[in-house]
Amino acid sequence: MKPIRSLATWLCLLVPLSLVAQEKTAPAGKRPNVLFIVCDDLNTHVSTSGYSHIRTPSLDKLAAAGTRFLRAYCQYPVCGPSRSSFLSGLYPESTRVLDNKSDIRQERPGIVPLPEQFRKNGYWTAGVGKVFHNMKNDPGESCWYEYERFENERNPVLEKAKKEFEAENGSIEKASNRRAWRLKQKEARRGASGQKIPGYGPTDMSDEEHKDGRNVRRVVSWLDKKSHGDKPFFIACGIQKPHVPFWAPQKYFDMYPQEKLVIPPALVGDWKDIPPLAMVKRFKAFGFELDKENDALRRAYTQAYHACVSFIDTQIGLLLDGLKRNGHWEDTIIIFISDHGYHLGEHYLWGKVSLFEECARVPMIVRVPGKTRPGTSANGLTELVDLYPTLCELCGIKPPAHLQGQSFAGLVDKPSGEGKETAYTVVSRGKTLGRSIRTTRWRYAEWGSSSAAELYDLEKDPAEHTNLIGKSEFNGQLEKMRGLLKRARKRGS
């Protein structure tokens, strides 16, 4: 997509007079800038979440200057529904976006997404990469002055397919080869996009040839060129890795020799006490079997995932350097999140779409100049749906009336605070919606009814291996969690 800024002149003529007046009266000079960094499929395998087996020095530097939110949870562990939720400030049952195909603009017309609210209030707004789920869901000029979404300069899978095809058939430019090459591309892309075995492995591309390298460098160029002019800026940087395919330059794979990886074994028989609907069988596409360890394949995928994480960490370092070089380190709020977590073999699961801790919990770092205390941690529960009202409060913007999230700006001032009483996450299984509620110690989930349920003591069993449903000594806690779930459903509907 070409930059929207080139259309700004005539678009201004179409903006309602109320919006123009709002932009003129906004006290732009007193408001902080915002850099909103959203990763895709990133779990808590980052050093700032306490995972010691990986190197993420850029996130370490951000955390040293801000606050780590260690109990942050998504509202739906799939890209589209999660992003629709935190970009609208609504829970998934309220957005009515419960899959990657639905569009909140059709489901809930009139809802103002986060970047649009900032644009309405005098901010220069820009985005790169995957912010909204895809180009079809992106509102375009109502949200952005500029927006771009790069792809890799080269595709390793298609490069290999082309080489093989031309060795057998001659040039793909030959008229007689065009149809066969299109079919070959389609076949190769299915493998690359994860419909079969998800792709992984090192590339011979440089950082800047990868889509995330290109997206980040566009943000840096906006900062260097002062594209925002006299307005405060709201820039959303969508980082697509470590989403499959797990591709990254070779040097990042070299950081994690497979034989040195720490791979906790999965528990044999883990699924004997878990409702069947809690399982998502995506592990089959990765080449795994239930209750059967495949250490070699697990190490290969984990190495690739970790390589992608360290790759994006390096790109994030460029963003931080760009802020400092342009004098915006002390006037820019930085929010770093993932849209949801990701399984790497825990419970024998691979990928997303579960309600377990590995999938629902996300890394989150917040730095608010003049407010956050450097190097602090917040252990109180927070939800991604709370980001919208929090940013509005921190930037002095009146939030829309529709928001269901609650500002956690209080935890920015006092990270030792308690946070929310519960965190609520849902996920679909066909026509059934699995619903999960967490407190600081317990997690409870229902898959359609209380007869298919889970209860875990996260203090004694953080890996969620022992379902306590049916154990009479926990009946009191079970009833309490059921009550909290009912309240959460009411709050989120």
374/341 Cα distance (integer angstroms): 25
Domains and CATH numbers, the chain: 4-151+205-416 (3.40.720.10), 154-202 (no CATH)
**CB atoms near residue 292 (< 10 Å):** 9
- Quick check: 27 pLDDT over 50? no
Supply the pLDDT for residue 180.
Answer: 82
The whole-number pLDDT of residue 193 equals 40
Q: Minimum mean pLDDT among 25-29, 211-215, 268-272, 426-430: which range?
A: 25-29
Report the chain's mean pLDDT, rounded to a whole number.
Answer: 91
User: Looking at 39, 45, 74, 133, which residue is catalytic?
Assistant: 133
Say how far apart CA 443 and CA 369 lie, in whole Å.
34
pLDDT confidence of residue 276: 96
39, 45, 74, 79: the active-site residue:
79
- The residue assigned the tokens 């989120």 is 492
CA-nearest of 86, 45, 103 to 236 is: 86
CB 72 within 8 A of CB 362: yes
Which pLDDT value is given to residue 252? 98
Taking each helix axis as running N to C, give the angle between helix 57-65 and helix 295-325, from 0 to 180 degrees, rounded to the nearest 10.
50
Going by DSSP bridges, is the β-strand pair 442-447/453-457 parallel, antiparallel, or unpaired?
A: antiparallel
Asked which of 1-15, 163-177, 298-312, 402-416 is least confident by mean pLDDT, the reply is 1-15
340 a catalytic residue: no
| Percent above pLDDT 90 for the chain | 81
pLDDT band at 196 (very low <50, low <70, confident <90, very high): low
pLDDT, position 482: 97
- For the segment 58-84, the average pLDDT, to the nearest whole number, is 98
Residue 427 near residue 353 (C-beta atoms within 8 A): yes
- Give residue 184's pLDDT: 76
pLDDT band at 1 (very low <50, low <70, confident <90, very high): very low
pLDDT the model gives residue 189: 60
Cβ contact 305:42 at 8 Å: no
Q: How confident is the model at residue 164 (pLDDT cuts 50, 70, 90)?
A: confident
Q: Is 7 exposed, middle or buried (0-12, 13-18, 19+ CB in 10 A)?
A: middle
* Residue indicated by tokens 């963003």: 319
How far is residue 361's CA from residue 77's CA, in Å, rounded to a whole number? 9
Tokens of 151: 């792809």
Task: Please indicate whether residue 79 is annotated as part of the active site.
Answer: yes
Pair of tokens at residue 371: 């407010």
Burial classification of residue 441, based on how many CB atoms lie within 10 Å of its CB (0-12 exposed, 13-18 middle, 19 or more buried)? exposed
Q: What is the pLDDT of residues 360-401, one digit of tens each?
A: 999 999 999 999 999 999 999 999 999 999 999 999 999 999
In one-letter notation, the amino acid at residue 92 is P
First vs last C-alpha separation in the chain: 35
Q: Which two three-digit tokens encode residue 301?
A: 């995928």
> In three state form, how does the secondary structure of the chain look?
CCCHHHHHHHHHCCCCHHHHHHHHHCCHHHCCEEEEEEECCCCCCCHHHCCCCCCCHHHHHHHHHCEEECCEECCCCCHHHHHHHHHHCCCHHHHCCCCCCCCHHHHCCCCCCHHHHHHHCCCEEEEECCCCCCCCCCCHHHCCCEEECCCCCCCHHHHHHHHHHHHHHCCCCCHHHHHHHHHHHHHHHHHHCCCCCCCEEEECCCHHHCHHHHHHHHHHHHHHHCCCCCCCEEEEEEECCCCCCEEEEHHHHCCCCHHHCCCCCCCCCHHHHCCHHHCCHHHHCCCCECCECCHHHHHHHHHHHHHHHHHHHHHHHHHHHHHHHCCCCCCEEEEEEECCCCEECHHHCEECCCCCHHHHEECEEEECCCCCCCCEEECCEEEHHHHHHHHHHHHCCCCCCCCCCCCCHHHHHCCCCCEECCEEEEEEECCEEEEEEECCCEEEEEECCCCCEEEEECCCCCCCCCCCCCCHHHHHHHHHHHHHHHHHHHHHC
Q: Is the pLDDT of residue 12 over 60?
A: no
C-alpha–C-alpha distance, residues 221 and 342, integer Å? 31
pLDDT in the model for residue 28 = 46
- Whether the CB-CB separation of 309 and 54 falls below 8 Å is answered with yes
Query: pLDDT digit string (tens) for 273-313?
Result: 999 999 999 999 999 999 999 999 999 999 999 999 999 99
Counted residue by residue, the chain has a size of: 493
Cα separation, 343 vs 278, in Å, equals 13
The mean per-residue pLDDT over the stretch 310-323 comes to 98
Q: What is the pLDDT of residue 125?
A: 98
pLDDT of residue 165: 78
- Regarding pTM above 0.75, the answer is yes
Is residue 175 over pLDDT 90?
A: no
pLDDT at 162: 73
